[in-house]
Structure 1
Amino acid sequence: MKKVLVVDDSAFMRKLISEFLTSTKQLEVIGIARNGEDAIAKIKRLRPDVVTLDVEMPKMNGIDALRRIMEECPVPVVMLSSTTIEGADETVKAMELGAVDFVAKPSGTISLDLHKIQDEMVEKVVAASKVNVAKITRGFQRESANDAGIGSVERTEKLPVDRTWGVNSPKMILIGTSTGGPRALQNVLTGLPRQLDAPIVVVQHMPPGFTRSLANRLDGQASIHVKEAEHGEILENGTAYIAPGGVHTKVVETGGQLSIQLSKEEPKNGHRPSVDILFESASLIRNYAKIAVVLTGMGADGSDGLVKLKEQGEVKAIAESRETCIVFGMPKSAIATELVDRVEHIGDIPRSIMTYMV
């Protein structure tokens, strides 16, 4: 049974969250804390396997507490966030600082309807409790960089280039990720050169209200332009489009140009946006070569779509390695299809993508 510390400034919320988590036989709440300072002292004393941490707290807020937790007593953390713009911005920052995942409260700081997300909270806390803390604290900074701004965390050998692949075809890059994705995306997108001769479309599992904050933050860090995808917009090379939370994102071809199509179809395997839906839409576009990338995440989203992609047209697939994944579910499932061309550590993925941009 995994041990949990619940951190929230509201006694009502601490009680409710504790009840939800102890309703499963997999989790035991071993302590509660009312602010960041209290949390740090109790983490050091109680040694929990996982912590739930409210973003908005007095005295020391969740972001400041998380920063100190990662420095002084690293442990997997799941953030609880409001869906305000400020809350979304702070949550994205928390993912960057090492939080494993987050749960969006349905209605403000004191959520009387928290039961709506009980199952999601339990699932994410259980998943976070199994994460190797070394993967959270490991520096994801690339150690070296070449002229294109692409480097490697752990390997420096030159990757082979497939000269017969996609020689005369325009390219598109498709990325799917979930748990641990914001940090992985930061690593990949900041490693790509400004003059990238392809558009990128990204599905990151997130609820509505958070993907714009993610896109804005990544845009400020990467050489390429990063934005939240909008319905009907024409895709441009050197731009990454983040699928908006709560809607499916497809790539369609109209009059020789690629554009974004957003839809509110039913979730696929529990996800909206869905990586499978993105990959399947791209499989229908004949005259483009596709580079499909599956990064860290729970579940198997993207595997069925990868099969569809590979059935039709020129496709190269890259999966993140077990060694650097926060959660190895999605890449493991993609690799199991036996259709993945390369399995790479996260820091090597930008360079791996560029070997296919010939």
Structure 2
Amino acid sequence: MIKVLVVDDSAFMRKLISDFINGESDMTVLETARNGKDALLKLEKAAYDVVTLDIEMPEMNGIDALREIMKGTPLPVLMVSSLTTEGAQQTITAMEEGAVDFIAKPSGSISLDLHHVKDEILFKIRAAAGAKVEQVTSVSTRSPMHTEDRIGTASITAEKKILAIAASTGGPKALQKVLPLLPKDFAAPIFIVQHMPPTFTKSLAERLNHISSIHIKEAEDGEIAKKGTAYIAPGGSHLKVKKMGRSLIVEVTDSAPVNGHRPSADELFLSLSDIAGYGLVGVVLTGMGYDGAQGLKEMKNKQSCIAVTESAKTSVVYGMPKVAREKANSDYSLDLNDIADFLNNQIVWE
């Protein structure tokens, strides 16, 4: 039984979320709390598997409460955020501070239509219950690669290269440990799919750009891809890449969701599998489900491609990388802290 603490300053929202959870046979709400201070007191008195934590609350907000939780005995926290620019920025901060994932309220702090995301709430609580959490370290550091993490010796020899990255649950924090360690003159364009709704991907891109040497932005339809720039798929849209003459052109489309996702990593990877003349590097980081596995397999089957998956040891949720490792027969399985050095030293500069 998954034991949940529901934290929200709205009594209505506490009851609505609690009713969703208590309606399931495998989870229960042990307690509710009206703000961060109240939540910390409740956490001292009982053991919980997951906390759903509202961001905007009086006395102690969700971000401050999250920091206190992660300082002590960390446990999986799902942030509950409004679909606003400010809410998105706060959510990205929460991801950096150690939250596993987030749920976006459809219509503000008191969402009468929360039932629209009921299935997402329950799905993410189940995923969070099995997630790995640890005390937050704010500085990304380089570390020597562990040879035992290598499961292959593949390399690419093409002069021109493309890097593509897929991530879901735990992805914002994982990207923060990879992208800031890539140099400004990184010799490839970078395409990223992070499962997020609109508004949130723009805030993510802005935050990552602020702490990185490479340029990071939300992708725009029709722009020419450049080396040393990372393009993040806009929430609610697919990101694809096509070759036009000697240039790579970014495509942003609103076609149907794939694997339940839009953006979908498979859509990005499949588009890259049709581009000849480049050495492809596909990376699948932490996340729920199996998005990206089929596309990564096609990249390997059709082009010169190295497939890298994050290890079970460091993945917040070892779903997407596990399926990709098995289905695409990934060449390397690496701990998160090793991936940036691997990209810099073993792939891009060969």
Q: Same fold (TM over 0.5)?
A: yes
Q: CA deviation at 1:196?
A: 0.3
Match in the other structure for 2:36: 36
Query: For residues 129 and 96 of structure 1, do their structure 2 counterparts lie closer, same or farther at Cα, with a shift above 3 Å needed?
Result: same
Residue type of the alignment partner of 1:279: F
CA contact (8 A) 2:294 2:328 kept: no
* Aligned CA distance change for structure 1 residues 153 and 56 (closer, same or farther; 3 Å): farther
Q: CA deviation digits over 1:56-94, x for unaligned, max 9?
A: 111111111111111134211000000110000000000
Match for 1:99: what amino acid? A
Q: Are positions 1:152 and 2:150 aligned together?
A: no
Distance 1:142 1:154 in 2: 15
Are the aligned partners of 1:153 and 1:345 in contact in 2 as well (CA < 8 Å)?
A: no
Residue 356 of structure 1 corresponds to which residue in structure 2?
347
Partner of 1:137: 135
Q: Which whole-Å CA distance do the structure 2 matches of 1:119 and 1:161 have between them? A: 39
CA distance in 2, matches of 1:168, 1:300: 29
Q: Following TM superposition, where does structure 1 have runs of at least 4 consecutive aligned residues deviating by more than 4 angstroms?
A: 140-143, 156-162
On the 8 A contact 1:96/1:183 being kept in 2, the answer is: yes
Contact 1:44 1:73 (C-alpha < 8 Å) held by counterparts: no
Segment of structure 1 superposing worse, 69-78 or 219-228: 69-78
Instruction: Give yes or no for the alignment of 1:302 onto 2:302.
Output: no
Does the alignment pair 1:12 with 2:12?
Answer: yes
2:185 counterpart of 1:184:
no
CA contact (8 A) 2:6 2:52 kept: yes
1:327: which partner in 2?
A: 317
Tell me, yes or no, if the aligned pair for 1:78 and 1:101 is still in contact at 8 Å: yes
1:277 aligns with 267
C-alpha change, 1:265 and 1:158, in structure 2 (3 Å) is closer
Task: Sort the Cα spacing of 1:251 and 1:87 in 2 relative to 1 into closer, same or farther, 3 A.
Answer: same
Q: Is the 8 A contact 2:241 2:250 kept in 1?
A: yes
Verify the 8 A CA contact 2:150 2:332 in the aligned structure 1. Answer: no
Indicate conservation of the 8 Å contact 1:140/1:153, yes or no.
Answer: no
* One-letter code aligned to 1:224: I
Give the stretch that moved more between structures: 61-70 or 275-284: 61-70
Instruction: Quote the residue 1:291 is aligned against.
Output: 281
**Match 1:312 to one of 302, 310, 334:** 302
Unaligned ranges ≥5, structure 1: 144-150
SS at match of 2:212: coil
Aligned to 2:211: 221
Q: Which amino acid aligns with 1:348?
A: D
Instruction: Tell me if the contact between 1:196 and 1:238 (Cα under 8 Å) persists in the aligned partners.
Output: yes
Which residue is 1:198 aligned to? 188
User: Could you tell me which residue of structure 2 aligns to residue 343 of structure 1?
Assistant: 333
Query: How far has the Cα of 1:168 moved from its partner?
Result: 3.9
**Under a length normalisation based on structure 1, what TM-score does the superposition of the two structures give?**
0.93
Tell me, yes or no, if the aligned pair for 1:35 and 1:58 is still in contact at 8 Å: yes
Post-superposition CA distance 1:168-223 (Å, at most 9, x none): 43001000010000000000101111110101000000011100000000001111
TM-score, length-scaled by structure 2: 0.95
Output the CA distance in 2 between the equivalents of 1:249 and 1:24. 35
2: CA distance, partners of 1:182 / 1:5: 24
SS in structure 1 at match of 2:181? coil
2:105 counterpart of 1:105: yes
Q: Deviations over 1:133-178 (max 9, x none)?
A: 3xx32647455xxxxxxx227748998997x944343001000010
Secondary structure at the counterpart of residue 65 of structure 2? helix
For 1:67, what is the secondary structure of its paired residue?
helix
Q: Secondary structure at the match of 2:103?
A: strand
CA drift at 1:109: 0.4
Per-residue deviation, 1:132: 3.1
**How far apart are residue 310 of structure 1 and its match?**
1.1
Is the aligned partner of 1:86 residue 2:86? yes
